[in-house]
Structure formats: structure tokens, C-alpha cells
Structure 1
Amino acid sequence: MEKYKDTMQEYFALPTTIYTPNTSYSDPNVTNSWEIRNLTELNYSCDAIRDFVNITCELPIDYAVPMYGYIMPFLLFITIIANTLIVVVLSKRHMRTPTNVVLMAMALCDMFTLLFPAPWLIYMYTFGNHYKPLWPISICYAWTVMHEVIPNMFHTASIWLTLALAVQRYIYVCHAPLARKFCTMPNVYKCLVYILISAALHQAMRLFDQDYTEVEIYWNGSIEYVCGTRTAAWVMDYVTEDVYYLSYFLFRIIFVHLVPCVALVVLNFLLFCALRQAQQRRDLLLSKKNQKSECKKLRDSNCTTLMLIVVVTVFLCVEIPLAVVTILHVLSSIVIKEFLDYYVANVLVLFTNFFIILSYPINFAIYCGMSRQFRETFKELFIRGSIGSNRNGGSSRYSLVNGPRTCTNETVL
């Protein structure tokens, strides 16, 4: 069962690790039997202190400090600005459409995924406090919730929102008549609520699956208190570690990593094929002088589809490596014993998580580079005197997704 516990940290959306497991909860008064540990900040081993919160041993520190201590604060600043601008632009009345609502929710989830653990990462790695004992218990609990549970919840929601975006666009492009029935604003809002609730429920038990206790250690010349961590009594007594961790891991592998990534690859391929067919249809319309207005609408629809394909592709480029590392480590822990070294797995997780963070501000650049309407609205809001054209001109607000008879009221982003 300890192998299952080793894999727990790999699933978190932000930098954590696959650490040496804690011992199982067995005695309610176990803290009375723990000996005072003799540690100094320069002389201790992770194996010797594996049963209490130890930030230094959670990550390969040589990589964690420069990446999450020095680079991450700049990424945080850029992400907050970029995603806030996305939300402000897409929340304008003329930009509120089913697609834009999903894009806005994705921007918020990505920003919160980084925003909640950022104060802890800055304190631990930027200010160099990762080696210090973490205390009191409330602080240890806050560390777990803000560094692991909440970021993981928002990142899971972001994955499912990306899948919802691809499904929605596929319906618009390939089954336009169904879009009027299913891709309405009320239905989109319901979908967002369901996704957020599901992501929260998925992480809810993570709030209660560890017990924190007071541990005394002799550290740096004096007695200090740290947080001891053990699997919660309710897990041991009513569920068992095997069932609890295996259920959690299988759910994440199937519904958070494998199914969304495979589905997005398939949907992206189908959208690309539909885009090529639409381009051929546009070329045909260009040859007819009286079809130029329809050609313009089709061009705008194609641009929107291409932009969303790029957004999904960027998402897959950073999510697929994390999914592969996750699956490999789970297999190493519960099927094929230890074919993936822990240190190597930790480094891989560290870098895959870092590239996920690096991708968060990219969507703003994609929208600015590929959406004329987004650029125009941005100029209207933030750049005085640079309105290049009327909001309703230059870029059609409607997309013709399947010919003259299947025009939908889908705003071109």
C-alpha cells in the first residue's frame, strides 16, 4: 500500500513530488511514543524524517529553487495580467457567447491554479525557507490545501473545460443544427457549474485523508515542533488504504488524464478535417461574385476554428507529457515494481508541471494574434484613440459553419 501513497503527489497540478511514504495510522496516541528527533538544517536525511512535513524533501531542490523560486514569480505576474485581460475583454456584452464563456472560465481556472499556491512557493523557494520546520498544524493544513488540493481542483476543471470547448466547437462546425439546441448560454452555464462541482467533489476527500499531529524535534540547537502526517483513521478503519488510493488514482488516470487527452486528439483531428473542407468551400465561393458575403462569414468561422485548434494543441503539448509520466509512475508503483526511479520521476513531474505553468499566459497571445474582434475590443477598452473599426464591422459577429442554411449565432472571437 505504501507504493500507492508514493504516487499521490504526482497528480497535483502544481509542483509537488513523489515522496517516501508516511507510515500508516495505527495508534491514536502514537505521538506519545515518538522520540524527539535530532536534526540540524545541514545534517539530516529525508528517509529519517519521512513521517512529518518536510518541504525540502518534496522536490529535487536543485531544480525547484531556480524554477519555482526565481522564474515562477515572473510567470505569476504575467499570468495574472494576461488572464485578467482575457476575462475583461470576453466579459463585454458583445463578446458574451457560449464559446467565449468557456474560454473565460478556462482563463480563471488557469489563473487560480497558479495563484493559490504562489504565496507558499515564493515563501519556500524564493525566500529560501523550504528547510525550516513547518508549524503549527493549521499552517501545515493550509500548505496542503493551498499547495495541493485547490490547485489540483482548478487544474482538473481546466482540463474538463478544454474538453467541453472542443466538443462545443465540433458541434458548431460539424453538426450545426444541433448547436441551436445544445450550445445555448443557459446550457453552457449549467455545464460550467457541473464541471466545477465535479472537480471539487473529486478533491473533497483530499481535505480529510491525512491526520496532522505535533512532533518534537531537536533542530538547529533547540527543540522545535513540526507536523507529523499519517493516513487518516477513517481511511484505515472504514475504507482501507488499498481501496482509497487505488480508486483515487484510477479515477485520475481515466477521467482526468487519459480520456480527455485522447478525446481532444480525436476532436482536434476532426476539426482540422472540417476546416480543410470549409476552406475548399470558401475557395469555391470566391469564384462566385455574388457569394462574397457568405465567403467572408465562412472565413471568420474558419479563423475561429483554427484558433481553437491552436489553443487545444498547446494544451495537449503540455498535458500529454504529464499524463504519460503519471501513468508510468502508477504502473511502476502498483504493477511493474519500480521500473521508474523516484528521483527521475520527481524531476519529470517538476518539469512537466513547470511547462504547464509556462503555457498559462500563451492563450492571450493566441487570441491577440488570431482574433481580429478580440484585438479590436482590447483596443477599445485599453488603448485610447486606436479604434480601427466599428465593433460590428471588420470581423463578422456571426459564423457560417455549414453553408447558407446552417448559420448559427456563434460570435467569432
Structure 2
Amino acid sequence: MSTVLSSTTITTTSEDIVFSSSSLSPSFSVVATFGEYYAHIHGRIVFPLTIFGIITSIVTIVILNRKHFRTPTNLILQHIAFFDLIVLLSYNIFSLYFYILHKPKPFVGQSRFWPSFALVHSNVGLTAHSIALWLTCLLAIVRYFIVSRPSKSTLKSRTVVFLVWVCVVLICSLMIPNYLIWAVVKQPASTYYPEIYSLNSTATVYWFSNTTGTKLERIAFHISAIFLKILPVFILITFSLLLIHSIHNAQKIRQRLQQRTKKRRYSLSLGNFTRELRTTTMLVFITIFTVFVELPQGLLFIASAIEEKFFLLYSLLGDIWDISSIGSSFITFIMYCSMSQQFRLEMFTLILPRYCHHLFLPQKQTTNNCETTNITTRQNHNNNQPHTTEQENIIILSYSVSLKKIKSRKSYNVSINNNHNNDEKYDL
């Protein structure tokens, strides 16, 4: 995500883009015009999105940390939400200052702090986003082995944590060239803003400078394109297709078993299969969106190493890449809510007051219990007495109505407590 940001903010200025866009081909000029137009409204759009993404990431982390959600798959999803949260927090501050409070030339008259923050934001954001992308690949691999080899796959939480830290160390190692390339230096303002400052002006501006030369920059460029964009997308596509194939085969096997075994035994296995299918479907949607966002960036990265015009095109679309990557964080949250009933129930208990809990629980079971109690009470009265008086009927009716209200208020908490008392754990 912040790879784009490092390209637009650090290596190019707005004047360079405007000047160079006129020399592009007609198709590139259309993209340049759109990129320049969207840049003026990007800050107002992305700032509230980052706030929403921060809230959804925190909610996801808290819910997946519940005891009955602590599975290997959910542990990976929890770490993905954590690194997305880092990206969103950093981008929230960046967008507020550089897109809303100070635009379009944020470094004029500023101290060294905010340019340094932009540099740190770029590196931290790119690192966290890349870790989240590789953890998504790890999720696809883990799900494939769980579905294809259910009897042999015994993955523990400690193993998942170890694999997560392996991803973190590898990504940080690959990011070392990016950490070394850029530095904030003090330079004459006339160098970057000649239309405002003359050559004799003593005004200075803090700007980014390549302190290592173009060779290391190209190495970092190719590392970002191959290992942080193309390769993880290829892994996601491969294992998602294998996962779909495994689910399809498992569905055929269960259909055959349905004809040979009793319905009761089959219904028990059907619930597990439905959860596996839901998790797989969710992962496929995540894969499609990830491919849509990351693959074009990787291809433009490689093309930029060959032809500089492609790098200009990549820079012009930088804000588009940013907002699409930000959107991926809360789109996954929306899928969690739409495809996992347990996740929705936990979210209701977390964010809603207690008196609203009963509104989100189906009332069918509660109503049946009240009707049964009412009938049983009437039968007891009929057995003990020859007939019931009108006053007794009113007492019985009021008792059943009161019982219904009590059960409707407590049914949601009872449902959640039953889930907590069971040893069963839920994958999203």
C-alpha cells in the first residue's frame, strides 16, 4: 500500500507529474488527467475510510481473541487484522496532515518532523501491508491442508505464531533496501518550487533524497515487484484453486456417504462441511480482491524498471492504489459479518447495550418454550381441579407472558454462554 505512497511522495513532485503527463500517449494522458483530478478529493475520501477501518480492525481482533474463536485459521486472521490496523493508523495521520490540513505543498515552511514522519509512514506502511499479504497466503496454504487432509492436519497455535514471525522476519529483511535508500535532507526551495522561489531566495525545504544511488533503488524496485506483489498473488491464486478443488471433491464424497449412512450421522458432518465451505468462499473473495489490487501494481513495477513512463503512470495512480488497499481491510470485516453467524453474535454482545441483545436472537425457540409452559400449566390445573376459573386463566396467561419476556431478554446471553461452555471452536 505505501509502496505507492513512497513513489508519489518521495520520488516525484506534483510539477513533475503535470509536466511529464503532456508527453504521454493519449491513453496515458487519460489516466494522468483522472489521477490529477482524484488527487484533489482523495484526502476527504480516505480519511473517514481509515477511521472506519481502524474500528473494524479493533473489533475483529477483540472478537477473534475470544476463547471459542481461538483456532489456527482465526489466529492468522487476527494477525492480518493487526497489521492492517498498523497501516490504517499510520495512513490516518498522514492523510489528515498532508491531504487535508496542508496541501498541495506540505513541506514548505515545515520542520524536519513531518517529512521524516512521511518517510517512516511509507516504510512502516509498506512493511505491514506486505506482512498482511503474505499472511493471507499462509491462510490459503493452511486452509488447503486442513480441507484436503483433515485426518493428518493437526496444526497448533504455537506453530501458527511461529509461522507468523517467520513471515515478519522475512518481509523486514526484504525491506532493508527500501529502508536505506531515502533520507530527509534540507535543500533550497527554488529547486522544487521555481514558480514561487527565485534562485536568489534563501528559503529552504526539507525533501527526500536518494542517498545510495540508482543501483540499490533498482534492486529494491525488483524486490518489491517480485516478492511483495507478484509472488504472493501467484501463491494465493494457486492455493485457492487447489482449495476449491478439494472442497468440490469433499462435497462429492459426502453426497455418496449420505446415501449409505443414516441422516442423523450425516447431518452432524454436514454442519462441519458447511463451515468449511463458508470459510473457503470467504477466502476466495479475499483472493479475488487481493489479485485485483496487487497484480496490476506488480506488473507496473516490473514495467517501470524497463520504461520510465510506466513509473510515471504508476505514480499517477498512487492514490487509487492506496484507497483500494485501505478498502481491503474493512471489506474482509463485512464478509466476516455476512458469512459468519457466530461472528455477528459476538459483535452484537461487544458493541450493543444489553437491552438490545434480544432483538438479534430468533424468537421462535423462546415462543415455543412459553407455549409449552402455558400448556403444561393448564394441564396441571385441569388434572388437579375439575375446571379452571376465569381468574386462574388470567393468572396462567400473565405468567406465560412474563416468562416470555424474561426468556426473550436472556435468550441471547444463554446462547452465548452455552457456546462458551462448549469446547467447540469456530472458524470464520
Fold similarity call, TM over 0.5: yes
SS of alignment partner, residue 247 of structure 1: helix
Structure 1 match to 2:277: 302
Measure the CA separation in 1 of the matches of 2:271 and 2:183. 62
**Cα displacement (A) at 1:361:** 0.6
Equivalent AA in structure 2 for residue 73 of structure 1: F
For 2:119, which of 144, 155, 164 is the aligned residue? 144
Structure 1: which 5+ runs fail to align?
Answer: 1-9, 23-43, 50-58, 399-409
Stretch deviating more after TM superposition (215-224 or 353-362): 215-224
| Equivalent position of 2:426 in the other structure | 411
Secondary structure of residue in 2 paired with 1:215? strand
Q: Offset at 1:391?
A: 5.8
Q: 1:349 maps to what in 2?
A: 318
Letter in 1 for 2:140: A
With 184-193 and 275-284 compared, the bigger mean Cα shift is at 275-284
Residue of 210, 226, 245 corresponding to 2:217: 245
Cα distance change on mapping 1:173 and 1:224 into 2, 3 Å: same
Structure 1 position 341, deviation (Å): 7.1
Please tell me the residue identity of whatever aligns with 2:345.
E
Structure-to-structure mapping, 1:255-266, within 5 angstroms: 255-266=227-238
Cα distance change, pair 275–48 in 1 and its aligned pair in 2 (3 A):
closer
Aligned to 1:65: 40
Corresponding letter in the other structure for 2:230: L
1:390 to partner: Cα distance: 4.3
TM-score of the aligned structures, taking structure 1 as reference length: 0.74
SS of the residue corresponding to residue 169 of structure 1 reads helix
2:340 matches 1:371: yes
> Once structures 1 and 2 are overlaid, which stretch shifts more, 285-294 or 70-79?
285-294
Q: Does 1:319 align with 2:334?
A: no
Tell me, in whole angstroms, the C-alpha distance in 2 between the residues paired with 1:330 and 1:262: 20
Contact 2:47 2:96 survives alignment (8 Å): yes
Displacement, 1:192? 1.3
> How many Å separate the matches in 1 of 2:17 and 2:206?
16
**CA distance in 1: counterparts of 2:251 and 2:258, whole angstroms:** 10
Deviations 1:235-263 (A, max 9, x none): 35xxxx32x22322222222111211111
Residues 126 and 97 of structure 1, relative CA distance in 2, 3 Å threshold: same
Q: Structure 1 residues 184, 279: CA separation in 2 closer, same or farther (over 3 Å shift)?
A: same
**1:283 counterpart residue number:** 255
The equivalent of 2:92 in structure 1 is 118
CA distance in 1, matches of 2:180, 2:326: 27
- List per-residue Cα deviations over 1:326-381 (Å, max 9, x = no partner): 22223324xxxx4x372x33233332332121222111110111112212222333
Counterpart residue type for residue 302 of structure 1: L
CA contact (8 A) 2:50 2:91 kept: no
Give the fraction of aligned pairs with identical amino acids, expressed as a percent: 22
Partner Cα distance (1:118, 1:134) in 2: 22
- By how many angstroms is 1:98 displaced? 0.9
Contact 1:15 1:349 in 2 (8 A): no
- Work out the CA distance in 1 between the residues paired with 2:160 and 2:218: 33
1:157 and 2:134 correspond? no
Whole-angstrom distance in 1 between the partners of 2:150 and 2:182: 49
What is the aligned partner in structure 1 of residue 210 from structure 2? Answer: 231
Residue 165 of structure 2 is aligned to residue 196 of structure 1: no
Aligned amino acid, residue 200 of structure 1: C
- Aligned residue-pair number: 347
CA deviations on 1:96-121 (whole Å, 9 max, x unpaired) are 11111110111111121122132222
| Structure 1 range deviating more: 264-273 or 194-203 | 194-203
Task: Kindly state the Cα deviation for residue 277 of structure 1 after the two structures are TM-superposed.
Answer: 2.0
Quote how far apart the aligned CAs of 1:397 are: 7.4
Task: Give, in whole Å, the separation in 2 of the partners of 1:137 and 1:73.
Answer: 24
Cα 1:17–1:204 change in 2 (3 A) is: same
Deviations 1:82-106 (A, max 9, x none): 1111111101111111111110111
Please state whether the residue corresponding to 2:110 is helix, strand or coil: coil
1:154 is aligned with what amino acid? Answer: A
Q: State the AA in 1 paired with 2:321.
A: T
TM-aligned CA distance change 1:278 to 1:202, over 3 Å: same
Shift of 1:164: 0.5
Q: What is the alpha-carbon distance in structure 1 between the residues aligned to residue 50 and residue 138 of structure 2?
A: 26
User: Could you tell me how far apart the structure 2 residues matched to 1:46 and 1:367 are?
Assistant: 43
Q: Which has the larger radius of gyration?
A: 2
